Amino acid sequence: MDQELIKKIPHKTIQRLSQYRRALLLCFEQGKTHIFSHEIANIQHITAVQVRRDLMLIGYSGNLRKGYNIKDLIDLIGEIIDSPNGQKVAIFGMGNFGRAIAKYFTGRRSKLTIVAGFDVSPEKVGKQVAGVPCYSVEEAQQIILEEGIRIGIITVPGDQAVETARMMVEAGVKGILNFSPTPVEVPENVFLEEYDMVTSLEKVAFYVKEH
Partner DNA sequence: CATAATTTGTTATTTTATTAACAGGGCAAA
Partner DNA sequence: TTTGCCCTGTTAATAAAATAACAAATTATG
Query: Which residues here bind a copy of itself, judged by CB under 8 A?
Result: 3, 6-7, 11, 14-15, 18-19, 22-23, 26, 43-45, 80-83, 87, 89, 95-97, 99-101, 103-104, 111-112, 130, 150-151, 153, 174-177, 179, 181-183, 191-211
Q: Are strands 68-69 and 175-178 parallel, antiparallel or unpaired?
A: unpaired
**Hey, is 128 helix, strand or coil?**
strand
Task: In angstroms, give the least distance from the CB of 64 to a copy of itself.
Answer: 27
* Residue 72 touches which member of a copy of itself, DNA, none, C-beta under 5-8 Å by kind: none
6 or 137: CB nearest a copy of itself: 6
Strand order in the sheet with 175-178: 128-129, 132-136, 112-119, 87-92, 151-154, 175-178, 191-194
DSSP annotation of 138 reads G
Task: Quote the CA–CA distance of 76 and 32 in Å, as a whole number.
Answer: 17
Question: Which residue of 20, 68, 135, 179 would you call a contact of DNA, by CB under 7 A?
Answer: 68
- In this structure, the number of other CB atoms found within 10 A of the CB of residue 146 comes to 10
10 or 126: CB nearest DNA: 10
Q: Are strands 175-178 and 151-154 parallel, antiparallel or unpaired?
A: parallel
Task: In angstroms, give the least distance from the CB of 160 to a copy of itself.
Answer: 14
- Rg of the chain (C-alpha set): 20
Question: Which residue of 11, 109, 209, 211 would you call a contact of DNA, by CB under 7 A?
Answer: 11
44 or 160: CB nearest DNA: 44
Question: Which residue of 18, 47, 110, 121 would you call a contact of DNA, by CB under 7 A?
Answer: 47
- 199 is a site residue for DNA (CB under 7 A): no
Of 110, 93, 153, 104, whose CA–CA distance to 130 is shortest?
Answer: 104
Half-sphere exposure of 75 (CA within 13 A, CB side): 5
46 or 143: CB nearest a copy of itself: 46
* Residue 81 touches which member of DNA, a copy of itself, none, C-beta under 5-8 Å by kind: a copy of itself
- 38 is a site residue for DNA (CB under 7 A): yes
Task: Quote the CA–CA distance of 182 and 159 in Å, as a whole number.
Answer: 7
Task: Quote the CA–CA distance of 93 and 114 in Å, as a whole number.
Answer: 13
Which positions lie near DNA, rule CB under 7 A?
10-13, 36-38, 46-50, 52-53, 55-56, 60-65, 67-68
